[in-house]
Amino acid sequence: MSRIGKHPVPVPAGVDVNVNGQLVTAKGKLGSLSLTLIDDITASLEDGKVVVKPANDSKRARTMWATSRTLINNMVTGVSTGYTINLEINGVGYRAAVQGKELVMQLGFSHDVKYPIPEGINIKCDKPTSISVSGYDKHKVGQVAAEIRGWKKPEPYKGKGIKYETETVLRKEGKKK
């Protein structure tokens, strides 16, 4: 039995969850998300909680049970509170700013890097060296943060680049005389 899948997903106040066959929809103050479950998984709404169960005893049903429960939990959490990923910029002259619907970064290239902000994502730069990516879709927030980090990953010798706030960069020793 799945240790994650057996726990029902609690639905907080202010979130409306509808289960219509294989389609699960969550609406909250931040937005609306939907998920289509595979045929081997069934979901039902029981006294304010979403219960996810395998439809049969196949291997695929058992493997997708906890995955489906986690995806539904991410949807419910996203539309109620949202997700935020913080990035830090290290390096002399490296900085970022939001201009209109674009994130403009100066990362040591001969030109500014302009990243268009996708729909449903909010990007804030409180300081020129910090970027905050937030939104209600966990997958989209993580993807946007990874794309921004991909422009200049932190290098191990001086630590220059864009890194996650929680990431630690393993530093290497430089060459010796």
For residue 157, the 8-state DSSP code is T
Task: Provide φ and ψ at 28, rounded to 5°.
Answer: -145, -170
Domains 4-81 and 83-164 share a fold: yes
Query: Would you say residue 81 has pLDDT above 90?
Result: yes
| pLDDT tens, residue by residue, 116-163 | 999 999 999 999 999 999 999 999 999 999 999 999 999 999 989 999
How would you list the strands of the sheet with 161-164, edge to edge? 121-124, 130-135, 83-90, 161-164
Query: Would you say residue 70 has pLDDT above 90?
Result: yes
CATH 3.90.930.12 fits 4-81, yes or no: yes
Going by their DSSP bridges, the two strands 121-124 and 95-99 should be labelled as unpaired
Q: Identify the pLDDT of residue 144.
A: 95
Average pLDDT, the chain: 92
Contact assessment for residue 77 and residue 27, using Cβ atoms and an 8 Å cutoff: no
Q: Tell me which amino acid residue 5 is.
A: G
SS3 content of the chain, % helix, strand, coil (to 5): 20, 35, 45
Q: How far apart are CA 105 and CA 92, in angstroms?
A: 13
Query: Would you say residue 1 has pLDDT above 70?
Result: no
Q: Which pTM does this prediction carry?
A: 0.88
| Overall average pLDDT of the 14-30 stretch | 91
| pLDDT tens, residue by residue, 82-110 | 999 999 999 999 999 999 999 999 999 99
> Which CATH superfamily hosts domain 83-164?
Ribosomal protein L6 (3.90.930.12)
Domain boundaries, the chain: 4-81, 83-164
Q: Which residues of 53-69 are buried (b: 16+ CB within 10 A; e: fewer)?
A: ebeeeeeebeebbbbbb
